[in-house]
Structure 1
Amino acid sequence: MKLSQSQWMQARDFIYANGRLLDRRRYEYHFANGTAVSVLNALRPYQNQDGGFGNALEPDMRTPESQPIATEYALMIMDEVGLWDAEMLTGVLNYLRTIAKAEGGLPRATTCVNEYPHAPWWTTDEDHSGSLNPTGRILALLYKQQVITGWEGEEWFTKCVDFVWRSIPFADKSDYHDLIHCITFLEHTPDRQRASEIISQVDEWLQSPGTIELDPGAEGYVHKVLEWAPAPGSYAKKWIKDEDVRLHLEYLIRHQQGDGGWGMSFPALSPGNEAEWRSLITLDHLITLQAYGRP
């Protein structure tokens, strides 16, 4: 089963009717001869003078002020299009230096998120301690880029690295986000020997029943096969049977909605927030379908 041409065009039109400029540029990059430069030009307005990213780049945080999660997402976008912007990265490093905790780690969110509309799961009572999410993937992506170097020995960074190593054994094995941060960090840390010694523990967690949701029709805020393995080369794919991938791809194709988009598995903050999320989700689904040869 493949997504038909008419279904694809409906999805494209849904993104253009509802999506942010950033996600329209991402669509063009992946499917319409768009450029990485155009994507980063659309990303740039989300960056603040302190170097961090905010301004609802993470759609559930409507604060204009910089947030660690939004900054992580900006790094993910640069990684997605394979273009690491030196100016953006310099700003990101400056921002991270200011929010890194003395004992190591970056906060999950800062309390300024409370001052603007936000999803209830982002309400933040204190921001004095580090969190594996988003520290793990932020460090991993900083390792991965090679445009800005020479900062790896700075005290704030080495303390964050130590924090992640300390945190991985105590990660919440039922929490998708914790495990993704463990995996990404272990994939990119230069300490390959130490990574090889601890990755077996993460592999055990991935194989635990219910960690990777195998039921394509499961409802609620669950994390299914294609979230763990959005492309054939994803780390978690080795623990997922090809038959399960096939079932989830076909379920995805059958459940495109009548307006061309795909739905959310969590409540929307507002109609505008819903339009942004559904467009982002629709685009990510198209990228996954292309990766598995299903368009």
Structure 2
Amino acid sequence: MTLKLSNDKLRLAREYLMTKGRNLEKEIYKFHFENGSKKSVIYELAKYQGENGGFKNLGEGEMQSENAMDTNMAFQILHDINASSNEEIVRNGINYIMNSYDKDLKYWYPNLKDSPVEFYMITDKWANPCAELIAYLHDYQELVPPHFLTDVTEQAMKKLQLLNKDGWFATLCFLRLADRVEDSLRERIVDKVKTNIFDLIETRKEIWSNEYCAKPFWYAPSPRSPLYPLLKEHTLPCLANEILTQDEDGNFILNWDAGTGEKEWKSIITMEVLRTLKNYDMILL
């Protein structure tokens, strides 16, 4: 029998977000669990968007300047709430993605401080953030010149062969791209990921809560995920472990030292786990 998050534990997680979480995650929670407003999520997310359309200070990238890493995080949220291409936040964000592309290197800098680019960044580590940014260009392709979308997608498929066993986040970025491209490209990406997925994920439950590791449910965030059949025997126990190790304050625990970003990451991770548990019908609503 599949373990589920109880009503009491859900209320505890909600209380944590509402009292200690960021305003952004508060509105995301309301959207997914309380019929909250899409506009309220967008209103909070827009506070992280700069005049050039990029995002900053969301958790992954620089706090003071717009960057590709935080822009990816923003579009994860916009995709998740099914934001329309008519939204100003989307249009400005897509413009930022296109305008920040280095046409000579065929590359997006993760952060401005990453210039000049080391060779490994445009080879083994290219996909994070580049493959994911291309995924969002596909999400809103009506805003993207067709030739540009074709060119960057072709570049992504060339870089796919470089995906290696050290690429936790590169693999996630490619999987997000796979969700948005035509079937033949999706199959190529998924087949490539399958070749080394067990070199990436941690399958030992005693490690999941105690050491920074790639958790199985990252790569199969819902039963509809293409890797779910392959990872099912590890994904469900990993999600059950999230339930069993929920902190007494209500948040789902971090398995790394987030330093000064602890508050933000507890908020982000708590919402991420709740969304995934909901996808798997592992919450007693």
Range class of TM-score, shorter chain: 0.7 to 0.9
Instruction: Map Cα deviations across residues 233-262 of structure 1 (whole Å, 9 max, x no partner).
Output: 122212113x43332232211101111112
Given candidates 246, 252, 263, the residue that maps to 1:275 is 263
Pairing 1:205–2:205 present: no
CA gap 1:127/1:53 in 2 versus in 1, 3 angstroms = farther
Q: Which residue of 1 aligns with 2:99?
A: 98
Q: Which residue of 2 aligns with 1:173?
A: 165
Would you say the 8 A contact 1:105–1:161 is kept in 2? no
Which amino acid in structure 1 is aligned with residue 155 of structure 2?
F
1:82 CA displacement? 0.9
Count of aligned pairs between the two proteins = 272
Distance in 2 (CA, whole Å) between partners of 1:259 and 1:66 is 32
1:14-163 equivalences in 2 (<5 Å): 14-54=16-56, 56-57=57-58, 59-86=59-86, 87-101=88-102, 102-111=104-113, 124=114, 126-127=116-117, 130=122, 131-145=126-140, 148-154=142-148, 157-163=149-155
Distance in 2 (CA, whole Å) between partners of 1:275 and 1:8 is 19
Given candidates 227, 232, 240, the residue that maps to 1:250 is 240
Pairing 1:261–2:251 present: yes
Instruction: Map Cα deviations across residues 207-226 of structure 1 (whole Å, 9 max, x no partner).
Output: xx342222222132211122
Distance in 2 (CA, whole Å) between partners of 1:110 and 1:32 is 38
1:158 CA displacement? 4.5
Q: Which residue of 2 aligns with 1:6?
A: 8
Instruction: Map Cα deviations across residues 180-239 of structure 1 (whole Å, 9 max, x no partner).
Output: 12222233224x435434542222122xx3422222221322111222222111222121
Query: Which stretch of structure 1 is more off in the superposition, 159-168 or 40-49?
Result: 159-168
1:38 CA displacement? 1.3
Distance in 1 (CA, whole Å) between partners of 2:257 and 2:15 is 23
Which amino acid in structure 2 is aligned with residue 254 of structure 1?
L
The two structures have a TM-score, normalised by structure 1, of: 0.84
Given candidates 218, 223, 226, the residue that maps to 1:232 is 223
Residue aligned with 2:143, SS: coil
Distance in 1 (CA, whole Å) between partners of 2:129 and 2:276 is 23
Q: Which residue of 2 aligns with 1:116?
A: none
Instruction: Map Cα deviations across residues 151-170 of structure 1 (whole Å, 9 max, x no partner).
Output: 2223xx55433331221101
Distance in 2 (CA, whole Å) between partners of 1:202 and 1:176 is 11
Which amino acid in structure 2 is aligned with residue 229 of structure 1?
A
Residue aligned with 2:214, SS: coil
Would you say the 8 A contact 1:132–1:178 is kept in 2? yes
Distance in 1 (CA, whole Å) between partners of 2:253 and 2:91 is 36
1:100 CA displacement? 1.0
Residue aligned with 1:106, SS: coil
Residue aligned with 2:47, SS: helix
Distance in 1 (CA, whole Å) between partners of 2:162 and 2:278 is 36
1:10 CA displacement? 1.0
Which residues of structure 1 form unaligned runs of 5+? Answer: 112-123
RMSD over equivalenced CA pairs, Å: 2.2
Q: Percent identity?
A: 23
Which amino acid in structure 2 is aligned with residue 256 of structure 1?
Q
Q: Which residue of 2 aligns with 1:120?
A: none
Residue aligned with 2:200, SS: coil
Which residues of structure 2 form unaligned runs of 5+? Answer: none
CA gap 1:84/1:216 in 2 versus in 1, 3 angstroms = farther
